Structure 1
Amino acid sequence: MIKKILIANRGEIAARVIRTCKKLNIRTVAVFSEADQKAPFVALADESYLLGPPRVNESYLKADKIIQIAKEANADAIHPGYGFLSENAVFAEKCQEAGLTFIGPRGAIMKKMGSKIEARKTMQAAGVPVVPGTDGAVESADEALAIAKEIGYPIMLKASAGGGGIGMQVVESDAELTKAFASNSKRAETFFGDGAMFMEKKLENARHIEVQLLADEYGNAVHLFERECSIQRRNQKVVEEAPSPFISEMTRMKMGETAVTAAKAIGYTNAGTIEFLVDEEENFYFLEMNTRIQVEHAITEEITGLDIVEEQINIANGEALTIDQASLNINGHAIEVRIYAEDPVSFFPSPGHITTMEAPAGENVRNELAVTANYDVTPYYDPMIGKLIVTGATRAEAIEVLKSALGNYKIDGIKTNIPMLETVIDHEAFKAGNTTTAFVQKHYLPMVKTN
């Protein structure tokens, strides 16, 4: 039985895991870099330990040191959160070898699904449709150019490892591809230790829709419906909602069943997400599988009433799922926006000192925060400083709650993307549910660049 968990992460997800642990009377251990000594999550944990200097390769990616701290603190388990080591199969295996429970799937499964190239092959074998593209790694820019002639532009150039839009870029010409191949491969190598690249045809007017899964060690698996994650900048999500305003009930059922079938086919356990691209005719194609908790898990919690972190811990404890598909229902509508410390037009990060921080409150408002007033946002990590989640009986009601909440959000001292979020949710296309992955380029950027 898990009695103490080390959270191998930082920011709002570390605080989020600690909250559920407190509810379950599980003690927590935080690890932090020198840049995060005054971060809220450090104070929330029962114990905290310094990892090292600010840079991730000297702190949050130090797998052996994290395991050493867990052993010294007498932790039973490690929760990896998202990002960093959360999808690192070697880290998961090292945890098990050290006698620590890794709160996530087995390392062998992570190896299959952590590589987007291997994941494509695995999903194809399981009968899941995939976007047309390369089935293996592209070794050079010259090879990429030859493949581009066959597939045709526009193309999505992608890093096989990692996530968060890192190493990913839309390219529309040979010149762009030549330049992007080297830079994205190098960036992926820096962040994930793997510079392998592959290519997919970019679907026009597509939607990014994902299905949340839970699976236990006894062959039971359920889906928790879908999330619409199409509004993105730099290939990273900024607005997510559940359920999707686009797909029909028939497609919803089919996507959920496909995701569950795929999870069972690979022997998946714990929480995971299968991401799809959906075209204008509601045909869906496998995009990737995230073998961890997602940033946007909160909106699924709001429409199902489940605590996904608690479910993760229960599964890691060897418990069987206490829910089945028939018992799950969608209740209302939830929307999440990511609050970034960045310029709302250029999207460049905006580190600095937060002088004022007042998050909105209310019955249908939930905040997941990584910062407080008098806190320094550093340039070392992803600029997301919080998430705002709202709910309503209907989508229209949730949008109104969100509009009010964003209007009451006050952050001074740094730039944030709140003006962008307000513009997006007030746009007629968003209100109508016309939220494709081209939304920011098609609707938002033309508005702000002419003002």
Structure 2
Amino acid sequence: MDAEHIRAIAQQTGCTHIHPGYGFLSESPQLASLFPEGGAIVFIGPSTGTLRVASDKMQSRALAVHNGVPVAPGAHVSSAEDVHKFVEGLGSAPFPIIIKALDGGGGRGIRLVYAEDHIDHAFRRCVGESASRRVFAEKAFVGPGWRHVEVQIVGDGLGNVSHLWERECSVQRRFQKVVEMAPSTLPRDTVGHVIEAALKMARHLQYKSLGTFEFLIDDHAKHWIFLEINPRIQVEHTVTEELLNIDLVKAQLQLSLPKASLEVVLPAWTMSPQPSPPPGYAIQLRLVAEDPHKDFRLSTGTIGPADVFWPSGRGVRVDTWLSTGPYYRGGLQWAVGVDFDSLLAKIVVHAGTFQEASARALRALRETRIAGDVKTNVEILSGVIAHQDWSSGRIYTQWLEEKVDQLVQLGNTQLTRQSRGSLSDTAAPRRLSGGTESATATALLQPGASFQLSLSPSLPQAASGQQTQKHTLVISSIGRNAFPNELSGTITTSLSAMPLSFSLSQLSSIMASAHTEFANPADPSHVASPIAGKIVELHPALETVAGDANKGSYVRKGEPLVVISVMKMESVVNAPASGRVVRVGRGIEVGNIVAEGALLCVLDVTDMDKGLARL
């Protein structure tokens, strides 16, 4: 993320072009300015001037207003007090509002606020997730009917711009896109208005390279507003590629060459003044490492080649880093941790009609396999495509979050319909007698490695009377290092007269070690971390107790105890009850990595009578 360091490496290696990808640096005017036009190294992307406007959401809004494009009521805010004043100016029904980082993206630095007393907390979290620590507030347009549509723009930097139609991204969770399709199923006349608005703004910028102009469209009232500009290639560019049979990255590279023109880069049939919608439909499904059964928490761990099986066939494309291609070194496993994006693969399908594309997408999901301890959102993806709202076009930006339980159940049903024998014996994951799925590769361990152990009744008739009990298993010594393909041990405490089966999952080696102290789920005074990530903020009570073990401090129920960052997005662990913090878990300090299930603190709720007087 260090622009100066990137330039130094480029100069040392004799690099001629810099492609910024589609991460944070792709929108950085600072990086682009280090490679001026006509220099020895070419920056592949828009000009520095365009990036200054497009990467700042308030400047993008001003550009839209200047060109007569509607925007939501909004204002730059430098404090929570400014947000309160903005709300006062919205009239009798101001909520919901949305607070956004000026340099945010991918769901980072965005909070939806429905009530006055939530403003201060949302403001702090957005500022904390913003690199520039600058945010703004807008009136939020959410609920049934509001769809998210983005227009793919291509420009030569001389004022000549064209479009490659639109993509719809309405299926999203916490402002992160989950399923995208091209074209949108919205009426063409409605989509036509936002395409013209995108072209108008792009011409004003004399846009160069690829870019996406994003809008919200109210399907009920046919009202629409501008959202933002993404001056880069998008993660979801693949649906446009499959729909049009165009290599967008190749086009991006060609546009960086001297005297590049749209006529050379784009097929002639895309350049007509009023082109018809492209034939067919393409759908992209983002397979990510998160557990829908645990509030979509990041699922960390390792994945081996034998754990993975991808779909194939006509009209199916899989872009993934879990690949044993020419650069793969045999015997290695892939690690999913807290510092990088949880996206495992993009599964893209293409067919002649929307119904055919949806059916192909569902088949591809049924064929997808990720075994081992890393969980994925494949159930949610299957539930989305199988749902009647998807097929009838009744989706909207908050639809997934409102239907999440229904979608998980529907997706699970769809996946279990897969006929036996659809996978070869070599491709199917092996199931251990204890109930865990595992790769054939052996994981070498060392004393102190930690695991989550769940014990549950193995007989169906006993399951109704007993619940699964969770424990932490720590390796104290190793006799034979053939784990997890083999495990032998003794359970010294008998929990039941009935036979028990176990499931075991290894925690990330980065986070779980001999130094990690785990909470006891059976102890109500223990406050556990619900996710794995980096600690970025502690309640003053925890800092006080950490500094002096003899000095307790009080907290109220609902107060933020710990803020944990996962891939630059922050989650807050609130106090489950009012009480006195008597102890802080080992290693709970700002900047440290915390494991899922780690002990954050011990809370004494019986000592609250004295504490209430102090709070």
Conserved? CA contact 1:113–1:119, under 8 Å? yes
Amino acid at match of 2:280: G
1:364 aligned residue (315, 333, 358):
315
Pairing 1:223–2:163 present: yes
SS in 2 for 1:275: strand
Look up the match of 1:339.
Answer: 287
Secondary structure of 2:355's aligned partner: helix
CA distance in 2, matches of 1:209, 1:410: 30
Kindly indicate whether residue 66 of structure 2 is the aligned counterpart of residue 125 of structure 1: yes
Partners of 1:357 and 1:265 in 2: CA distance: 47
For 1:348, the equivalent position in structure 2 comes to 297
Task: Read off the aligned partner of 1:291 and give its amino acid letter.
Answer: P
SS of equivalent residue, structure 1 residue 368: strand
Identity of aligned residues (%): 36
SS of equivalent residue, structure 1 residue 219: coil
Q: Match of 2:244, as an amino acid? A: T
Question: Which structure is richer in relative contact order (CA contacts within 8 A, separation 6 or more)?
Answer: 1
User: How much does 1:448 deviate?
Assistant: 4.7
Alignment equivalent of 1:402, drawn from 337, 357, 361:
361
* 1:196-239 Cα shifts (integer Å, max 9, x gaps): 11111111331110000000033221111111101111110000
Determine the structure 2 residue equivalent to 1:75. Answer: 15
**1:344 and 1:418 in contact (8 A); partners too:** no
How many residues in Structure 1 have an aligned counterpart in Structure 2?
A: 384
Distance 1:325 1:257, change over 3 A: farther
Query: 1:57 matched to which residue of 2?
Result: none
Q: Residue 438 of structure 1 aligns with which residue?
A: 398
CA distance in 1: counterparts of 2:139 and 2:214, whole angstroms: 16
**In structure 2, C-alpha distance between the alignment counterparts of 1:293 and 1:132, rounded to whole Å:** 28
Match of 2:209, as an amino acid? N
Cα deviation, 1:264-291, whole Å, max 9, x if unaligned, reads 0122111000000111222221100000
Partner of 1:165: 107
- Alignment of 1:326 with 2:272, yes or no, is yes
- Aligned mate of 1:422, from 382, 385, 390: 382
Q: Runs in 1 of length 4+ with deviation above 6 angstroms?
A: none
- Partner residue, 1:34: none
Question: Which of 125, 141, 150 lines up with 1:203 in the alignment?
Answer: 141
Q: 1:328-380: CA deviations, max 9, x gaps?
A: 65020000011101112411111110131111111100111022473111211
Which runs of structure 2 are paired with 1:107-186 in the superposition (5 Å)?
107-134=48-75, 137-151=76-90, 152-186=94-128
C-alpha separation between the residues in 2 aligned to 1:447 and 1:232?
13
1:286 to 226, 248, 255: 226
Counterpart of 1:153, as a letter, is F
Q: What displacement does 1:95 show?
A: 2.3
Question: Which range moved further: 324-333 or 388-397?
Answer: 324-333
Q: Residues 58-83 of structure 1, C-alpha deviation per residue, up to 9 Å, x if partnerless?
A: xxx02112111112221111111111
CA shift, 1:449, in A, is 9.0
Distance 2:408 2:116 in 1: 29
- The one-letter code sitting in structure 2 at the alignment partner of 1:390 is V
Structure 1 equivalent of residue 334 of structure 2: 375
Specify which of 167, 173, 182 is matched with residue 233 of structure 1. 173
Q: Secondary structure at the match of 1:96?
A: coil
1:164-197 alpha-carbon deviations (Å, 9 max, x no partner): 1100011101121111101110111xxxx21111
| TM-score (ref. length: structure 2) | 0.60
Letter in 2 for 1:101: V
1:358 and 1:448 mapped to 2: Cα distance? 21
Letter in 2 for 1:332: G
User: Does the aligned pair in 1 maintain the 2:173–2:398 contact within 8 Å?
Assistant: no
Deviations 1:30-82 (A, max 9, x none): xxxxxxxxxxxxxxxxxxxxxxxxxxxxxxx0211211111222111111111
**Structure 1 residue 145: deviation in Å?**
1.3
Q: Distance in 2 between matches of 1:68 and 1:124?
A: 39
Residue 256 of structure 2: which of 316, 322, 343 is its match? Answer: 316
Q: Which secondary structure state, in structure 1, belongs to the residue aligned with residue 177 of structure 2? A: strand
CA, structure 1 residues 67+430, in 2 after alignment: closer, same or farther (shift >3 Å)?
Answer: same
State the SS of the aligned residue for 2:225: strand
Structure-1 separation of matches of 2:206 and 2:359: 42
- Please give the alpha-carbon distance, in whole angstroms, between the structure 1 residues aligned to 2:7 and 2:104: 21
Which structure 2 residue ranges, 5 or more long, are not aligned? 325-332, 413-615
Which amino acid is the alignment partner of residue 141 of structure 2? L
Residue 144 of structure 1 deviates from its aligned partner by 0.6
Residues 173, 446 of structure 1: CA spacing in aligned structure 2 closer, same or farther, 3 A cutoff?
Answer: farther
Matches within 5 A, 1:231-270: 231-246=171-186, 248-270=187-209
Q: Which moved more, 1:329-338 or 1:393-402?
A: 329-338
Query: Which residue, 22, 27, 30 being the options, matches 1:90?
Result: 30
Task: Check conservation: 1:354, 1:372, Cα contact below 8 A.
Answer: no
Separation in 1 of the partners of 2:123 and 2:379? 33
Asked if the contact 2:383/2:409 (under 8 Å) is kept, the reply is: no
Q: Deviations over 1:98-121 (max 9, x none)?
A: 631111001111001100011101
Tell me, yes or no, if the aligned pair for 1:216 and 1:320 is still in contact at 8 Å. yes
Q: Is the 8 A contact 1:277 1:285 kept in 2?
A: yes
Do the aligned partners of 1:339 and 1:387 also contact (CA within 8 Å) in 2?
yes
Deviation of 1:252 after TM superposition, in Å, equals 2.5
Find the residue that maps to 2:103 and give its secondary structure: coil
SS at match of 1:415: coil
CA separation of 1:447 and 1:336: change in aligned 2, threshold 3 A: closer
Larger radius of gyration: 2
What's the C-alpha RMSD, in Å, of the aligned pairs? Answer: 1.8
Q: For the residues of structure 2 that align with 1:337 and 1:371, how far apart are their CA atoms?
A: 16
Q: Which amino acid aligns with 1:284?
A: W
Match of 2:45 in 1: 104
Q: What displacement does 1:396 show?
A: 0.4
TM-score (norm 1): 0.82
Question: 1:143/1:340 Cα in 2 relative to 1: closer, same or farther (>3 Å)?
Answer: same
Counterpart of 2:64, as a letter, is M
Q: CA-to-partner distance for each residue in 1:114-151, whole Å, 9 max, x for gaps?
A: 000111011111111112222xx201111111212333
The separation in 1 between residues aligned to 2:368 and 2:42, in whole angstroms, is 39
Aligned with 2:272: secondary structure?
helix
Structure 1's 448 and 389: CA in aligned 2 closer, same or farther, altered over 3 A?
A: closer
Aligned to 1:65: 5
Which residue identity is paired with 2:97? Answer: I
C-alpha contact (below 8 Å) 1:239/1:335 kept by paired residues: yes
2:129 to 156, 165, 187: 187
Q: Which amino acid aligns with 1:232?
A: Q
